[in-house]
Structure 1
Amino acid sequence: MNMMAHRQLPPSAQDAAVARASGQLLSRYARDKAPLKLRVTDGEQAEPIELPAGAVALLMDILEAMAAGQGVTIMPENAELTTVQAAEVLNVSRPFLIKLLDKQQIPHRKVGKHRRIRMEDMMAYKASIDAERESVLDQLAAEAQEHDMGYNNP
């Protein structure tokens, strides 16, 4: 991959516990969606570090995933993925992804015989199908309520 990416495998039970405790402490300060100043201590030295609001939110997501025992991969939006990597992001098979690319539902480019998909295009496609699914679920719930299928409030 021609990009900066970092993958952290699932944490040990001890690291998951530390992530849980750290996330709980940090969540008190992260609610404001504002930059956050942390003071890092190393021996006798203490140095303040200011984190932008986006980094604080990302750190909270990372700690939450680690607390749940999950691994984490961080990848920039402009990264280019292979079809195997893109299929993993969408949690679909590679042949299914190839069909999406052939139907031009996801932008891509060819490098020789190989297809490359930008991460930001993958995430835009994923957001659109997630929104479509949510809309269909809302419609189903509304129809169930309309037909008095047990979803009405008592």
Structure 2
Amino acid sequence: MEILDQIKRPTKNEQKVAIDSYTALSNVLPQLSKECTEIEIEETHAKIKIPLKALKLLNDVLKAMSEGKPISILPIATEVTTQKAAEILGCSRPHIIKLIEAGEIPFTKVGKHRRILFEDVLKYKEQMKEQQRQHIIDIMNFDEELGLYDT
């Protein structure tokens, strides 16, 4: 999928601009109460109306860019290939195939190709993180029971 292939870290200059813009927008957002607000493009003096939700999303994008994080905005319903899902999850494509065939991740078939909703890949990734957190807590509790971990 072309969109995911184009994700790159912001340049140092983009980071600097994002820091300044994030700070300014963060200070203004709490003062906005309407569902839609009008902003002016300084260079052209064009005025555009932007939904408040979009401004909040822009604020999140600027924050991520200011921290040097690569960002991408995709519609939730975007479908990815099994290869792209494997890259997102940091595993092999055959492992993804096993997961979807075991019913762990929902998918659809387009011809003979499997497609997975991007949202489902992220949901699975979050489930795995939660399971890892729980395993760490379980190990710490077991170590404590054995007297190996001193609180």
Task: Bin the TM-score by the shorter chain.
Answer: 0.7 to 0.9
TM-superposed CA distance for 1:94, in Å, is 1.6
Counterparts of 1:37 and 1:77, CA distance in 2: 25
Which ranges of 4 or more aligned residues in structure 1 deviate by more than 4 Å? 4-8, 30-36, 140-148
TM-superposed CA distance for 1:25, in Å, is 2.1
After superposition, the CA RMSD in angstroms is: 3.3
Paired residues of 2:140 and 2:149 also in contact (CA < 8 A):
no
TM-superposed CA distance for 1:36, in Å, is 6.8
Deviation digits for residues 93-140 of structure 1 (CA, Å, limit 9, x no counterpart): 222212211212101122222111112222222222222223333444
Paired residues of 1:87 and 1:94 also in contact (CA < 8 A):
yes
Greater share of helix: 2
| Cα distance change on mapping 1:145 and 1:12 into 2, 3 Å | same
Instruction: State the TM-score, normalizing by the size of structure 1.
Output: 0.73
Name the structure 2 match of 1:13: 12
TM-superposed CA distance for 1:149, in Å, is 2.8
Unaligned runs of 5+ in 2: none
TM-superposed CA distance for 1:74, in Å, is 1.6
In percent, how many aligned pairs have the same letter?
Answer: 31
Name the structure 2 match of 1:107: 106
Return 5-14 or 60-69, whichever deviates more. Answer: 5-14
Paired residues of 1:29 and 1:36 also in contact (CA < 8 A):
no
Unaligned runs of 5+ in 1: none
Counterparts of 1:18 and 1:85, CA distance in 2: 31
Name the structure 1 match of 2:45: 45
- Paired positions, count: 148
- 1:63 and 2:24 equivalent? no
